[in-house]
Amino acid sequence: MAYKDLRDFINDLDQKGLLYRVKRTINKDTELMPLVRWQFRGLPSDERKAFLFESLTDSRGRSFDAKVAVGILGASRPIYAAGMGCKVEEIQERWVQAQRFPIPPKMVDGGPVKEVILQGDALLEAGGIDKFPIPISTPGYDTAPYLSSPYVVTKDPETSIVNVGTYRGMIKGRTRTGIMTHGAQHIGIHLEKARRLGQNLPAAIILGCVPYVGMCSVAKIPYGVNEYDVAGGLAGAPIELVKCETVDLEVPATSEIVVEGELSTEYLEDEAPFGEYSGYMGERAKNHVFNISCITHRRKPIYQAFISQFPPSESSMIRKISYDALMLKFLKYDCNIPTVQRVAFHEMSGSWMYIVIQLDKTNPSQPWQALNAAVALDPTIGKIIITVDPDIDPDDPESVNWALSFCMQPHLDVRITTGKSSMLDPSAAPSGTETEDRRFPKPVGTSAMLIDATRKHAYPTVSLPAKEYMDHAKEIWEELGLPPLKTRYPYHGYALGYWPEEWDKEAQMAVQGLYLETGEKLAQRRKPFRGWKEAKE
Amino acid sequence: MAYKDLRDFINDLDQKGLLYRVKRTINKDTELMPLVRWQFRGLPSDERKAFLFESLTDSRGRSFDAKVAVGILGASRPIYAAGMGCKVEEIQERWVQAQRFPIPPKMVDGGPVKEVILQGDALLEAGGIDKFPIPISTPGYDTAPYLSSPYVVTKDPETSIVNVGTYRGMIKGRTRTGIMTHGAQHIGIHLEKARRLGQNLPAAIILGCVPYVGMCSVAKIPYGVNEYDVAGGLAGAPIELVKCETVDLEVPATSEIVVEGELSTEYLEDEAPFGEYSGYMGERAKNHVFNISCITHRRKPIYQAFISQFPPSESSMIRKISYDALMLKFLKYDCNIPTVQRVAFHEMSGSWMYIVIQLDKTNPSQPWQALNAAVALDPTIGKIIITVDPDIDPDDPESVNWALSFCMQPHLDVRITTGKSSMLDPSAAPSGTETEDRRFPKPVGTSAMLIDATRKHAYPTVSLPAKEYMDHAKEIWEELGLPPLKTRYPYHGYALGYWPEEWDKEAQMAVQGLYLETGEKLAQRRKPFRGWKEAKE
């Protein structure tokens, strides 16, 4: 059964033991995010929980009607799986199928999001967007609270195709926020089309709703696919939408808060610094501005924030999960490479730069088909893209490093491609460079490295004892009372295509103690030695 | 105080709680190595211990006078540190200083290694080398027991400079073993010189002695430096040596077993398959043969074996520790790059292929000076070599992947160099290729990729909350009774050279709640928008 609203989901997290309720009053400007940050700097990934802050204050001593939820979408994989209503190991396939079999949304007449409607003077008197306890993400360095988990709804001004996406936004005034977009993003296309038409771009920002919409908002869903449809696919039921008050857009009926307004195409404003996904502060940049015309919200709303910034974070986790699935679906179903098995975006790359593709190739071109397609999916995504064989765990950096070490030769298996674009990558250009010049630094933009680390020929067997000896030794291990084992895979040798029959026979003789016979046989095959080629040539 | 022999060291490991004594009878062909293997496939690195097997049998039902020790040099860092008589964090500096201030060995008249002397018929009747309980490392795939931890002593036939090195050797007969060498190794140079002089190469194989000699035997100590001198430097006292019986070579007086003989330069023999450091079975190859003339040993000797093969293993650990130190010493003291701080060979590359160099560069050429020098140290070592800044942990694959993701651009910061040589790297050539053709495959050998992942300019601050907020939040964390934290570094933001004063002021205002004032200021700096360059160009 799909969750009907955010509260339903939060209660379920609580019942599953995946939520901390914090009743102590917390300063949203200085204390809230550092507290949640600790679980990313001090607890193993799967032990992290969601936080619900029930009593908030700020540095001006205000109190708030609203609660704040952080980490409820993706502080851990178990939390994300709870949001999808599935097991952790089912997440990727659910995501793939939701894209293949989307379910369109359903319009309804009203909903809780209309419990409070604020416009004009009433909006200003209530404090506008600043009436909510929006946390400062990186106190000490951020120059304001930012919207970190907005689901921004816009329509293509020409085709009316909907896009829902997440773009950070600086709180600049009671009815004004910044918004950071990139021309390569779908909202960037909407903005450019609006500008060419001499229009501003109407937008509605959802702050808190059923998890499915958030999951899609942060995903890289292809242009022209309505995120609400995929969200319905994830939910297994249509998302119920209501019309906005002041813009021709639709938002989930059970949203906690919806902010309506327009993105100006007439001017840009300085925004940031803001702590970014890369692990560095994003620099001051000229960005668009969102002017607010109306806010609707539930009574006693829950303001949802993502904790992002230095990886790993909630944002790297939710991006990873959806990007893994989107890239897998893209390569496997759209790009004609059915042998692709798994995709793993690495969180330490912000789930953005370092991508490993596992495939069970049936011909030697498939890894390059996958690498070339993967690097082309999005101009800003993928700096290091690696293909590996099915016995390599694409999520485990040690397993991938094993493949890099012994399954590729750099002069044969590495290609560098330029023409990529930077999305907040500080290596793109010196600090202080103008926004546009760092996005596509002259003359060739940024670049990506493609590495085929699949094996190019049959390999000899993996050098661990055969399964029967390892299994028997485990019995002895336990009989001796040695410490409990947590098995790492692989734990025994396995064949990789090259294992001549003679070697197998000799190995069987060896474990019977008959190795001197093999030694004797090999002596009969001696050949005269006249120096190694490498010493002579 | 330096250990006087292997037994002294083993007793100390026992007292320190770093040894398992196994009294149950164990089959050295089928049970011994799989049992020790489990701790590498099921326990965290620092929980691994050394094993002393006190009762051995084999698949022929024999019993043995000797015990077997495995993992006593490097099953874990604490064990290696015990062998050096220092703390884990002192290992690298000890190693560097032992190279800079070596202590030559001291000749003595006799020692326990002469308790039993076997030659001629007596040697054969005793069973020769096969009288010892030499384990099969990878049962199911290895074709014989192999010497896995021999310290092979040879002299340059022209200069008499001593080399001590470790080369696997297949047990082929009672007085005959294989030995795998590479022309680029120092023993390979001795062999080639001997061949050109029309001589065989005398050799003595030490099996078990004080840990210092083993540490040096597996290290890449420069040609012309006597490993015994560096071992003395590690011990802080001269290694005491005795003359061999049948060859003009010297060995430690307290060695457990010494095997004397000659490496033939007249013929080669097939050897292997044998489970190799790469994680794959090493293929059958034409290798040299060692013909045994004499064995001397202590009564009730302890046969020492390394557990190698699939990484991580004891062999990847001991190689890593010494290679880290040797490369550091080479780059810092020999190559004129004093700003090199740490070197980390990654175990999943067999401590061979994947190398990370941390330096605090003072000019932009230093990373390339280090990369070019590092790749040149040894023709077989280093396929992926990466330089990083001082705040990156070179041993942590996640930290290195963070640097690769945001501190380099492939088209600017990556170079591939050829002319490398393969030492058992299965990616060098298809399985079944002749030994020589896989060592330097036509036309350019194997290759290495050099990556400068240091930052090329000042970066904005790291995107974690400032220290004061994180420290305060930790107090709240503990007050709330949340789970105990194990701090991951970094846990707070830190400066990287680019942080304009205005941003600092605004960030301070933000935590005081004065962010709307900043928003107002930024509105005054609006600029008209006429489309992004990237959309127009």
Q: What's the mean per-residue pLDDT of chain B?
A: 96
Q: How far apart are CA B165 and CA B96, in angstroms?
A: 19
Q: Determine the pLDDT at residue A535.
A: 55
Residue A501: C-alpha distances to residues A61, A466, A506, A516, B273 (Å): 79, 16, 9, 19, 12
Residues A375-425 have pLDDT tens digits of 999 999 999 999 999 999 999 999 999 999 999 999 999 999 999 999 999
When pLDDT is averaged across residues A321-350 and rounded to a whole number, the result is 96
Q: What is the mean pLDDT of residues A361-377?
A: 97
User: Rounded to a whole number, what is the distance in Å from the CA of B243 to chain A's nearest CA?
Assistant: 30
Confidence of residue A457 (pLDDT cuts 50, 70, 90): very high
**Cα–Cα separations (whole angstroms), residue A395 to A358, A447, B333:** 10, 23, 38
Which site among A515, A517, A536, A537 would you substitute to test the B interface, given the most B Cβ atoms closer than 10 Å to its Cβ? A515
Q: Tell me the residues of chain B between 425 and 484 that have a Cβ less than 8 Å away from chain A.
A: 425-428, 430-432, 436, 439-440, 444, 446-449, 455-470, 472-474, 476-477, 479-480, 482-483
Which residue in A35, A174, A518 is closest to B473 by CB distance? A35
Q: Is B178 helix (H, G, I), strand (E, B) or coil?
A: strand
Contacts of B20 in chain A (CB under 8 A): 480, 482
How high is the pLDDT of residue A1? 81
Q: Mutating which of B439, B464, B475, B509 best tests the A interface, going by the most A Cβ atoms within 10 A?
A: B464
Q: Tell which CATH classification among 2.60.40.60, 2.60.40.1120, 2.30.110.10, 3.90.1150.10 matches the domain B6-305.
A: 2.30.110.10
Identify the sign of the CA torsion A273, A277, A278, A279. positive
Whether A530 shows a pLDDT value over 90: the answer reads no
Phi, psi (5° rounding) for residue B400? -65, -40
A478 with B449: CB under 8 angstroms? no
Give the chain A residue whose CA is nearest to the CA of B381.
A405
Which of A419, A230, A204, A380 lies closest to A291 in space, CA to CA? A204
Question: In this structure, which topology does domain B335-456 adopt according to CATH?
Answer: UbiD C-terminal domain-like (3.40.1670)
Residue B264: pLDDT over 50: yes
Lowest mean pLDDT segment, chosen from B178-182, B259-263, B484-488: B178-182
Cα(B364)–Cα(B256) distance, integer angstroms: 51
pLDDT tens per residue, range A179-191:
999 888 899 999 9
Tell me whether residues B384 and A410 touch, CB distance under 8 A.
yes
Residue B534 has pLDDT above 90, yes or no: no
CB contact under 8 A, A176 and B526: no
The residue of chain A nearest to residue B353, with distances taken between CA atoms, is: A405
- Cα(A353)–Cα(B404) distance, integer angstroms: 9
pTM, rounded to two decimals: 0.95
Instruction: Determine contact: B1 vs chain A, CB below 8 A.
Output: no
CA distance B213 to A42: 41
Cα separation, B186 vs B399, in Å, equals 35
Arithmetic mean of pLDDT, B127-143: 98
**Peptide bond before residue A465 is cis, with ω within 30 degrees of 0:** no
Q: Is the pLDDT at A153 greater than 60, yes or no? A: yes
Please judge whether A529 and B267 are an interchain contact, meaning their C-beta atoms are less than 8 angstroms apart.
yes
Residues of A in contact with B457 (CB under 8 A): 430-431
Give residue B532's pLDDT band: very low, low, confident or very high (50, 70, 90).
Answer: confident
Instruction: Give the span between the Cα atoms of B220 and B345, in whole angstroms.
Output: 13
H or E segment and range at residue A269: strand A267-271
pLDDT tens digits, A461-493 = 999 999 999 999 999 999 999 999 999 999 999
Q: Are B252 and B240 in contact (CB under 8 A)?
A: yes
Tell me whether A59 touches chain B (CB under 8 Å). Answer: yes
User: In this structure, are residues B226 and B104 in contact, taking their beta carbons and an 8 Å threshold?
Assistant: yes
Instruction: Measure the CA angle with vertex A376, ends A370 and A377; round to 5°.
Output: 90
CB within 8 Å of chain B, chain A residues 130-169:
130, 136, 138-145
Residues of A with CB below 8 A from B189's CB?
none
pLDDT at A472: 98
pLDDT digits (tens, 9 = 90+) for B317-360: 999 999 999 999 999 999 999 999 999 999 999 999 999 999 99
Per-residue pLDDT at A168 exceeds 50? yes
Q: pLDDT by residue (tens digit) across B29-59?
A: 999 999 999 999 999 998 999 999 999 999 9
Contact criterion met (CB below 8 Å) for A295 and A256: no
Could you give the CA distance from residue A409 to residue A366 in angstroms, rounded to a whole number? 17
Res. B535 pLDDT band, cuts 50 70 90: low
Interface with A, mutate which of B20, B49, B141, B472 (most A CBs under 10 A): B141
pLDDT at B237 over 90: yes
- Whether residue A516 and residue B140 make contact (CB cut-off 8 A), yes or no, is no
| B112-123 per-position pLDDT tens digit | 999 999 999 999
Same fold flag, B6-305 and B335-456: no
**Omega before B273 cis (within 30°)?**
yes
- Residues A336-362 have a mean pLDDT of 97
Local confidence band at A537 (pLDDT 50, 70, 90 cut-offs): very low
**What DSSP string describes B104-167?**
--EE-S--GGGSEEEEHHHHHHTTGGGGS-PPPSSTTT-SS-EESS-EEEEE-TTT--EEEE--
In chain A, domain spans: 6-305, 335-456
Mean pLDDT calculated for residue range B397-408: 98
pLDDT at A185: 87
The rounded distance, in Å, linking the Cα atoms of B433 and B475 is: 63
Chain B residues inside the 8 Å CB shell of A462? 279-281, 310
Q: What is the mean pLDDT of residues A311-333?
A: 96
- Separation of alpha carbons B178 and B424, rounded Å: 16
The pLDDT tens digits of the residues spanning B411-463 come to: 999 999 999 999 899 999 999 999 889 999 999 999 999 999 999 999 999 99
Q: Which of B160, B128, B173, B125 is nearest to B249 (CA)?
A: B160
Do B534 and A421 lie within an 8 Å CB cutoff?
Answer: yes
Q: For the beta carbon of residue B122, count every other beta carbon within 10 angstroms.
A: 12
**Is B421 at the interface with chain A, CB within 8 A?**
yes
Cβ-nearest to A144 among B410, B411, B515: B515
Q: A404 contacts in B (CB within 8 Å)?
A: 349, 353-354, 383-384
Percent over 70 (pLDDT), chain B: 99
Find the residue in A nearest to B440 (Cα): A534
Chain A nearest-CA distance from B413, in A, is 10
Chain A residues with CB-CB distance to B183 below 8 A: 532, 534-535
Minimal Cβ distance to B465: which of A37, A60, A523: A37
Closest of A69, A54, A351 to residue A210, by C-alpha: A69
Minimum Cα–Cα distance from B274: chain A residue: A463
Residue B243 has pLDDT above 70, yes or no: yes
Per-residue model confidence as pLDDT tens digits over A81-117: 999 999 999 999 999 999 999 999 999 999 999 999 9
pLDDT in tens, A198-212: 999 999 999 999 999
The pLDDT score that the predictor gives to residue B537 is 44
* pLDDT for res B182: 86
**Are B405 and A464 in contact (CB < 8 Å)?**
no
Is pLDDT at A220 greater than 90 in this prediction? no
Out of A360-364, B345-349, B456-460, B527-531, which region has the weakest mean confidence (pLDDT)?
A: B527-531
Q: Determine contact: A173 vs chain B, CB below 8 A.
A: yes
Pairing of strands B201-207, B151-155: antiparallel
| Phi-psi group of B461: left, alpha or beta (phi > 0 → left; psi -120 to 50 → alpha; rest → beta) | beta
Q: What is the mean pLDDT of residues A272-300?
A: 96
> Which ipTM was obtained for this model?
0.96
**pLDDT band for position A435 (cuts 50, 70, 90):** confident
Q: Which of A64, A464, A474 to mutate to test the interface with B (most CBs of B within 10 A)?
A: A464
pLDDT number for residue B531? 85
Residues in contact with B517: Cβ distance below 8 Å, sequence separation at least 6, in sequence order:
B509
> Does A101 reach chain B within 8 Å, measured CB to CB?
no
